[in-house]
Amino acid sequence: MIVGVPKEIYPGERRVALVPAVIPNLKKAGMDVVIEAGAGAAAGYPDADYAEKGARLVEKRDEVFATADIIVQFLVYGANDKTGQADLPLLRKEQAVVGFLRPLGSVETLREIAGSGVSAFSVELMPRTTRAQSMDALSSMATICGYKAVVLAGDTLPRMFPMLTTAAGTIAPARVLIIGAGVAGLQAIATARRLGAVASAYDMRPAAKEQVQSLGGRFVELPIEAKNAQDARGYGTVQDESFYAKQRELLGNTVADSDVVITAAVIPGKKSPVLVTKEMVQRMAPGSVIIDLAAERGGNCELTKPDETIVIHGVTIIGEYNLAGTVPYHASQMYARNITAFLLHLVKEGKLNLNLQDEIIRETLVTHDGELVNARVREFFSLPALQSAPAGGGA
Amino acid code (one letter) for 235: Y
| SS3 state at 306 | coil
The DSSP 8-state label assigned to residue 82 in this structure reads: T
Q: How far apart are CA 341 and CA 323, in angstroms?
A: 24
Q: State the catalytic residue, choosing from 205, 235, 297, 376.
A: 235
Letter string b/e over residues 97-115, b meaning 16 or more CB atoms within 10 A of that residue's CB: bbbbbbbbeebebbebbbe
Instruction: Find, among 68, 105, 69, 61, the residue nearest to 87 by Cα.
Output: 61
Q: How far apart are CA 143 and CA 184, in angstroms?
A: 5
Q: State the catalytic residue, choosing from 106, 133, 213, 282.
A: 133
Q: State the catalytic residue, choosing from 92, 139, 244, 297.
A: 139
| SS3 state at 245 | helix
45 a catalytic residue: no
The answer to whether the beta carbons of residues 294 and 261 sit under 8 Å apart is no
The answer to whether the beta carbons of residues 91 and 65 sit under 8 Å apart is yes
Amino acid code (one letter) for 42: A
The answer to whether the beta carbons of residues 97 and 75 sit under 8 Å apart is no
133 a catalytic residue: yes
Q: State the catalytic residue, choosing from 56, 111, 128, 218.
A: 128
Q: State the catalytic residue, choosing from 87, 136, 259, 292.
A: 136
10 a catalytic residue: no
Phi-psi region of 99 (alpha: psi -120 to 50; beta: other; left: phi over 0): left
291 strand-pairing partners: 262, 318
Q: Judge residue 311's burial from the number of C-beta atoms within 10 Å of its C-beta, 0-12 exposed, 13-18 middle, 19 or more buried.
A: exposed
Q: What is the 3-state secondary structure (H, E, C) of 110-175?
A: HHHHHHCCCEEEEHHHCCCCCCCHHHCHHHHHHHHHHHHHHHHHHHHCCCCCCCEEECCEEECCCE
Neighbouring C-beta atoms of residue 6, cutoff 10 Å: 24
Q: Which residues contact 104 (CB under 8 A, 6 or more apart)?
A: 268, 269, 377, 380
Do β-strands 351-352 and 315-318 pair in parallel, antiparallel, or remain unpaired?
A: unpaired
Instruction: Find, among 342, 359, 385, the residue nearest to 98 by Cα.
Output: 342
Catalytic residue IDs: 128, 133, 136, 139, 235
